Amino acid sequence: MGQLFGITKDKYIDLEIDVDNKIRPGIYQIRAKSSNGHEVEDTINLPIDNEIYKAMLIKLEYPEINTTNKEICDFGNLLYNTLFSGKILAIFISMRDQAERENRELRMKLVIPFSYRHSALTALTK
């Protein structure tokens, strides 16, 4: 059992969420994999028509535009509700509950290819 910064490796249950394939504009296949072997696939529909989403993508492209804490929180809530639904929500709840039962922590990794972010920004600015 390895240690990193005094924390045992077994302290965590890992959940990795990968944005895999762009099915069509705004719709992506996603896969969630846990460290205990559970894996699910689902699709998400990005809220590309949502004003919060559009405004934040533009602000990400132009960091000199001021962003308020409320805007960041609103955007985070929107993305959370978009990502954590269906099968992805189910595996998240399952892994969170398992971590709690085993007195461990849930560690999550979200993998979004840079090209997906770039293509979303390009579509909004054309």
Q: Whose CA is closest to 28, among 122, 120, 108, 93?
A: 120
pLDDT confidence of residue 82: 93
Task: Report the distance separating Cα 20 and Cα 39, nearest Å.
Answer: 13
Q: How confident is the model at residue 120 (pLDDT cuts 50, 70, 90)?
A: low
Find the domain containing 113 and state its range: 3-125
Query: Token pair of 71, please?
Result: 């805007």
Which distant-in-sequence residues (6+ apart) come within 8 Å of 80 by Cβ?
Answer: none
Q: What is the pLDDT of residues 62-90, one digit of tens each?
A: 888 888 999 999 999 999 999 999 999 99
pTM of the model: 0.73
Percentage of the chain lying above the pLDDT 90 cut = 53
Between vectors from CA 87 to CA 57 and to CA 46, what angle results, nearest 5°?
20
Q: What is the pLDDT of residues 13-30, one digit of tens each?
A: 999 999 888 888 888 899
pLDDT confidence of residue 125: 45
Task: Report the distance separating Cα 104 and Cα 12, nearest Å.
Answer: 6
Domain count, the chain: 1
Per-position DSSP letters for 81-114, written without gaps between them: HHHSSHHHHHHHHHHHHHHHHTT-EEEEEEE--H
